[in-house]
Amino acid sequence: MRNGCKKLASMFLITVLLAACSSKEQEEIHQMDFQAQIDWKAPAPAVGERPRILFVGNSHIFYNDLSGTFVRIADAFGYRSDVYELSKGYYSLRQYANPEDTLGALFDSAVTNKKWDFVVLQENISVALSDSPDEDMFPYARILDEKVKSAGGQTAFLMTWAPKDGKKEGFKKQSCQELQSVVAENYMTISDELDDLVIPAGIGFMRCADSYPEIELWDEDGYHPSPAGTYLTACIVYATVYQESPENCSYIADLDTELAGKLQEIAADVVLGNGTSTAKKIEGHTGNQG
């Protein structure tokens, strides 16, 4: 079992600025080292037989059927599970935390009337990118987490991926890697505070894009996952929940065997630090991250 990671500052690579640095370089002062191995918190208690899991989020979850893909991966390894999904386009944790909202009321009913082993919470990407998460994200994460724990479940935050092409506001352009650092820090900060699980899909996207740039993880819109992106995320969910590598899984969706194998290795390495060929590739890597 792995302990929760408490020293967030050690997870980030801070660029040292010299007086002669250009303005572009000065903007890159806070970016996560996506190749660094993070000791993610493991489920406590460990997953039992036929766990009940509830996925809560928006289109990042229902695109390509993430929850169903996870179930089929687990089934391929001989694990049975009861998995349900509560999702709607554009929804945020704030709406789910509001009992007067339609889906907020459904969330309350679900966690009150049924016993869940895990409740997976996914924030709206625009909120996850907020520079004021103390106002926009964290209060609602706390409300939902308290409801989950009061019902005897474990909360797992699904850290999603940043927009493929970054974001431009006026003359300022932030890269996908820069935005992913913000998303990661916000998810890791609240999960550390609440001692909850993190499903690091966004970090998996960055590491895969770096190690295997030929793999397209994003849909054409640059926000939602491609089938490969959903499969990678499902593998990362599996590795987090079961604390086992998804490598050599017989279920590969509609992907070819080689592609699925690469995604399985990435997931194993990101969560458990034991991906086979990916670990070797990363060890010798010297290029740009992301």
pLDDT of 49 reads 94
What is the Cα–Cα distance from 188 to 17, expressed in whole angstroms?
26
What is the Cα–Cα distance from 220 to 201, expressed in whole angstroms?
19
Give the pLDDT confidence of 73-110 residue by residue, as tens digits.
Answer: 999 999 999 999 999 999 999 999 999 999 999 999 99
Neighbour count for residue 13 (Cβ, 10 Å): 14
pLDDT of 280 reads 34
pLDDT of 17 reads 26
CA distances for 41 relative to 96, 154, 197, angstroms: 25, 12, 6
Is the pLDDT assigned to residue 258 strictly greater than 90? yes
Give the pLDDT confidence of 29-62 residue by residue, as tens digits.
Answer: 357 899 999 999 999 999 999 999 999 999 999 9
**Reported confidence tier of residue 63, pLDDT bands at 50, 70, 90:** very high
Write the burial class of residue 72 (CB in 10 Å: 0-12 exposed, 13-18 middle, 19+ buried).
middle
**Which DSSP state fits 225?**
B
Q: Is the dihedral of CA 274, 277, 280, 282 positive or negative?
A: negative
Give the pLDDT confidence of 105-150 residue by residue, as tens digits.
Answer: 999 999 999 999 999 999 999 999 999 999 999 999 999 999 999 9
Closest CA to 183 of 134, 123, 241, 230: 123
Topology of domain 49-283, CATH: Rossmann fold (3.40.50)
Buried b / exposed e along 177-213 (16+ C-beta atoms within 10 A):
bbbbbbbbbbbbbbbbebebbbbbbbbbbbbbbbbbe
The pTM assigned to this predicted structure is 0.86
CA angle 82, 124, 202 (to 5 degrees): 75
What is the Cα–Cα distance from 20 to 112, expressed in whole angstroms?
59
Please state whether the peptide bond connecting residue 45 to the residue before it is cis, i.e. omega within 30 degrees of 0. Answer: yes
What is the Cα–Cα distance from 255 to 83, expressed in whole angstroms?
23
What mean pLDDT value characterizes the chain?
A: 87
Q: What value does the mean pLDDT take over residues 236-256?
A: 98
pLDDT of 275 reads 61
pLDDT of 168 reads 87
Cα dihedral 144→149→199→13 (10° resolution): 80
More confident residue, 165 or 288: 165
Give the pLDDT confidence of 182-228 residue by residue, as tens digits.
Answer: 999 999 999 999 999 999 999 999 999 999 999 999 999 999 999 99
